[in-house]
Amino acid sequence: MQQKGTQSPWKRAGGENSQNRKVTDFYPVRRSSRKSKTELKCEEKKLIDDLITSGIEEGMEVQYIEGKGRAVFATRCFQKGDYVVEYHGDLLQITDAKKREAEYAQNPATGCYMYYFQYLCKTYCVDATKETGRMGRLINHSKNGNCQTKLHDINGVPHLILIASRNIDEGEELLYDYGDRSKASIAAHPWLKY
């Protein structure tokens, strides 16, 4: 029995003749605090942007291997898909890259750390030949590497990064496939076969 002057919740919610009522007429709406896939992707991109622009390279160290030279090893575990490091160097368009490559060819002791790639229908090159403290240029080749290259855009500028192609254990050498299968390259660098 209702008291005088009070209204039944049924009448308040939808009027006297309303037969269709919503759950929200009786219970407050609860919003999920979970983030959408898009929000998570945006956060991950921002984190990678920050690591690249600040030059932070964590979770790896350079070691010397007899008969092989310098190599980069994981000092922590990386999960499949994790950002590992940027292949950092001068970003060049193809015409400038070819000129530089011809200069490097004049002195075989210089070496060549040039990585060519396509981005928005243009060919670019990251020239990491100049010796720096950055580790991406020192990651060695293997056809069965544990890293792979990926393009990462920051404000319209492509950055070449390496991500884990599988789970990587602490102490494991970081490797990726350079992708060069030309006869001339294999003749000059037989280790490209492996």
DSSP 128-188: --S--S-SGGGPEE-TT-SEEEEEEEETTEEEEEEEESS-B-TTPBPEE------HHHHHH
Give the H or E element holding residue 71. strand 69-74
Q: How far apart are CA 46 and CA 97, in angstroms?
A: 29
How many C-beta neighbours within 10 Å does residue 141 have? 16
Region of residue 43 (phi > 0: left; psi between -120 and 50: alpha; otherwise: beta) = alpha
Q: What percent of the chain has pLDDT over 90?
A: 40
- Pairing between β-strand 83-86 and β-strand 157-164 as defined by DSSP bridges: antiparallel
**DSSP strand E in 90-134: where?**
90-93, 114-119, 122-127
**Mean pLDDT to the nearest integer, 167-177:** 94
pLDDT (0 to 100) of residue 18: 58
Kindly report, residue by residue over 107-130, the tens digit of the pLDDT.
877 777 888 898 998 999 999 888
Domains of the chain, each with CATH number or no CATH:
37-84+132-148+165-193 (2.170.270.10)
Q: Please check the confidence at residue 73 and state whether its pLDDT lies above 90.
A: yes
Highest mean pLDDT among 25-34, 155-164, 177-186: 155-164
Kindly report, residue by residue over 136-146, the tens digit of the pLDDT.
989 988 888 99
Q: Please check the confidence at residue 133 and state whether its pLDDT lies above 90.
A: no
Q: Please check the confidence at residue 11 and state whether its pLDDT lies above 60.
A: no
Q: Rounded to the nearest 5 degrees, what angle is found at the Cα of 170, between the Cα atoms of 169 and 172?
A: 70
**Mean pLDDT to the nearest integer, 152-169:** 94
SS3 state at 53:
helix
